[in-house]
Structure 1
């Protein structure tokens, strides 16, 4: 093609020519101003555990909503599309960073009912009664998710509350096509649903669920309408609260009208630490995740992980030894700060963390039996979901919510269509007796009325040079902490992009039991042999965690990482 002088001097041609040059240099295509050619976005991004919910969040961002607006909409959409973990009958944590760098965290963790007591799961001989804290009406703490979303919207939301709930109502009433993964989960749990919910038919059908089946939840839609129209009172008072209390009475549960009325989410100062040149903004107690994450990062910081390499034997040994010591501390010192004096500053003292690693040597594994919680002067005696969202102003939200086990207690609130949590199992039913995730605890996490149970949820935001760098979190019970930890290292130390970092194979150790769990095919046989020769017990598992994260590149684009272990989806614009 030739261009004559008249065309060059034509203003319209000049504008077109400069536009083409701009798009080439920016990596964008015309009509996609926010997208570059690597799947990175300029204006906003949502990464969450189900595609329909991700679309809801993206639509809110496109309508001018901010990251918190999108988070509220995603939370309610996940309560429809991800019944095993998305919820209004559970609770969680939110870490928020405004575009100007200001931070806050919201604790909407469940609470022990007023009638809860320290011995409620023990028999007359003082032994823990199997499954009582898991699959009975007494397993449920007072839900916090709805109040948490109301409070987050009150403080930071831009769009109308009703507009954020409406997409979830439509998904519940009109139905959505289920994925192969969700169909499998529903079929696997159908027997328990029927056993624990006589007279109810939620999430069950004649025959088996298949990919593409339409799942309609009319009672859940009606519950959402109450929340849409009445806000907090649509759940903690009125018809829905009556249904919750009726369900409790039906199964000898503990939650009362007073428990619901008295529940309130709590704003807490973010827990902030450093790893090399990065600022880590994470969740304080009653999350154990934030403290544990900062301890882990400081424990490995002096070592040359970048030189050793990803999932190599030296790297893995160091990380496992750090994890053992941190989880030992967790068992003794961490609980609800409103009830227990958690020694946060002491646990995060660099000298203390260094002292904890002194017993680590390269000759052999440190047996967990020889590791005890540390001591310092002044001390007085799996199924979850995560979503990460950023908006065009740079506001970022990292939210992890849970019912505890997959589908919580498996018990539905009759007439309301949602599942009850079994978060009471996250308390220490008896000192030294492990919960469903193998975690042990004591006085700091004992059962008390109105107390929030300890959690491993670790929603986290990372800064570099005063700017947003990463938004990250995951489900996974006790593996949440180590999955977030390893994902951060994958990016910072092993130069992985965001998708690689969340997809990379993971491993986990938590002090007790004394073993290292590795994802199948995640570590080569030579490395496994080296670890075993040093005394590490290796077990394999299908998968660990489902990390959803966002990285802000040096060019200012948002790059998502959606975990391939589930139906997790990333969307941006």
Structure 2
């Protein structure tokens, strides 16, 4: 697979799934912060502006590219299974039906679905390793947003409509349906008390959530809801460095963690002659590589991608599942529901074990060792699909990053290809002739992922999530 590397150096910028998130990251870049500084500030902003997808009670992963050394590091700050205290058994979860693409899917929420959160610790570790600005400076953009509230983008409102049985459950109704009706695009999303939590985070650092005053509140609140999470679970939580996987795509190297959905393996499995194939033939080969056995969960996830002026990159993906509807009193923080996500429950789970995830923040390095793309995606089992489609657009077809993200995608579940509107008819015909069942969706939908990337042709967020990309000028 011979691909000619694109010579243009990647410009400094931020890509995110909310304008306020991207602005927070760009503000830090302008202040002289590193890619890590800006990514942390953007992630903290997501915990205010994108609470439909993520929050301080969630977990995630970070991938960092150091331009000077060419090294890539992946950090795991995903959630851990609680129960190491050994003094509490979890009660029953609360089943909720979420309709997605016209199909009901069962999720479980409540205190028993809450795993040990990692977002505060992860942000702290990224800053400790690669940050330059003071910690409080990185919290400040999110704090400002928390004091005023943030406009809800229309795409986020559509996600809320799908996920309302979990998000607007119980106390969540006060935030997401404050007048008895779900928030619509342009409405103000505001969480009373969240500013107080961020003020504490700025002053005390991430330890506030693990050994400080919020730690005891987390334990009391989760246990009151039937969960098993205890003080030892929180105090023992650590960010892990995880092995970096790689795959070759022509002259490029894709670097990322080995995720549950095998993104890097999928790229490695693409035929070497893929660029020389016709688009219909390539679609059939891609569908075979993407075949995904039965996973079609929604997932509330978001991603930020940042490149700084020195060519360093930091990509961070975070999630809280659908959210447990377990809100920390007076602080506006929803806890994660990862133990209620059926596709993440594996046979090896026991107290203290880190859960697996489909999230795959990645970087692409060219033959000269320079950064070509920094990207990640939301979308649960469609994360892999969205990333592979985007990389093929940029690296194989020579499409600029914004256009590659916006192009129609298809996702494979068993023997069915779910296709967005606009997928070329000759490609769909070739898939059908090859034996695939083709399900053409009537509308563009957040189901097909939410890529954010900084690469050739600029920075871009996914239009399926009303994402934006901002360049440092």
Q: Which residue of 1 aligns with 2:235?
A: 261
Superposed counterparts of 1:392-407, under 5 Å? 392-405=309-322
> 1-side partners of 2:165 and 2:265: how far apart?
42
Distance change >3 Å, CA 175–CA 260, structure 1 → 2? same
Distance change >3 Å, CA 470–CA 197, structure 1 → 2? same
C-alpha displacement of 1:247: 1.3
1:421 equivalent in alignment to 2:336: yes
Normalising to structure 2: TM-score of the pair? Answer: 0.86
Q: Which residue of 1 aligns with 2:396?
A: 493
> 1-side partners of 2:167 and 2:294: how far apart?
37
* Bigger proportion of residues as strand: 2
Q: Which residue of 1 aligns with 2:466?
A: 567
Q: Deviations over 1:24-78 (max 9, x none)?
A: xxxxxxxxxxxxxxxx997620000110111111010001001000011101111
> 1-side partners of 2:334 and 2:9: how far apart?
35
Q: Please give the secondary structure, in 2, of the residue aligned with 1:300.
A: coil
Q: Please give the secondary structure, in 2, of the residue aligned with 1:499.
A: helix
C-alpha displacement of 1:211: 4.0
> 2-side partners of 1:458 and 1:189: how far apart?
23
Q: CA RMSD in A?
A: 2.8
Q: Which residue of 2 aligns with 1:455?
A: 357
CA contact (8 A) 1:275 1:301 kept: no
> 1-side partners of 2:158 and 2:411: how far apart?
26
Distance change >3 Å, CA 203–CA 442, structure 1 → 2? closer
CA contact (8 A) 1:114 1:259 kept: yes
Q: Which residue of 2 aligns with 1:390?
A: 307
C-alpha displacement of 1:218: 3.1
Q: Is the radius of gyration larger for structure 1 or structure 2?
A: 1
> 2-side partners of 1:266 and 1:305: how far apart?
37
Superposed counterparts of 1:13-32, under 5 Å? none
Question: Structure 1: which 5+ runs fail to align?
Answer: 1-39, 331-381, 427-434, 553-557
Question: Structure 2: which 5+ runs fail to align?
Answer: 1-7, 97-105
Q: Which residue of 2 aligns with 1:288?
A: 260
C-alpha displacement of 1:273: 3.0
Q: Which residue of 2 aligns with 1:536?
A: 436
Q: Which residue of 1 aligns with 2:272?
A: 302
Superposed counterparts of 1:96-495, under 5 Å? 96-100=64-68, 101-114=70-83, 134-186=108-160, 192-193=166-167, 195-197=169-171, 201-208=174-181, 209-284=183-258, 287-289=259-261, 292-309=262-279, 312=280, 314-324=281-291, 327=292, 382-405=299-322, 408-426=323-341, 435=342, 439=343, 443=347, 446-465=348-367, 466-495=369-398
**Greater relative contact order (CA < 8 Å, ≥ 6 in sequence):** 2
Q: Please give the secondary structure, in 2, of the residue aligned with 1:489.
A: helix
Normalising to structure 1: TM-score of the pair? Answer: 0.72
CA contact (8 A) 1:92 1:402 kept: yes
C-alpha displacement of 1:116: 10
Distance change >3 Å, CA 207–CA 233, structure 1 → 2? same
CA contact (8 A) 2:284 2:434 kept: no
Q: Please give the secondary structure, in 1, of the residue aligned with 2:39.
A: helix
Q: Please give the secondary structure, in 2, of the residue aligned with 1:255.
A: coil
Q: Which residue of 1 aligns with 2:22?
A: 54
> 1-side partners of 2:236 and 2:229: how far apart?
11
Q: Which residue of 1 aligns with 2:454?
A: 550
Distance change >3 Å, CA 133–CA 252, structure 1 → 2? farther
Q: Please give the secondary structure, in 2, of the residue aligned with 1:75.
A: helix
CA contact (8 A) 2:344 2:355 kept: no
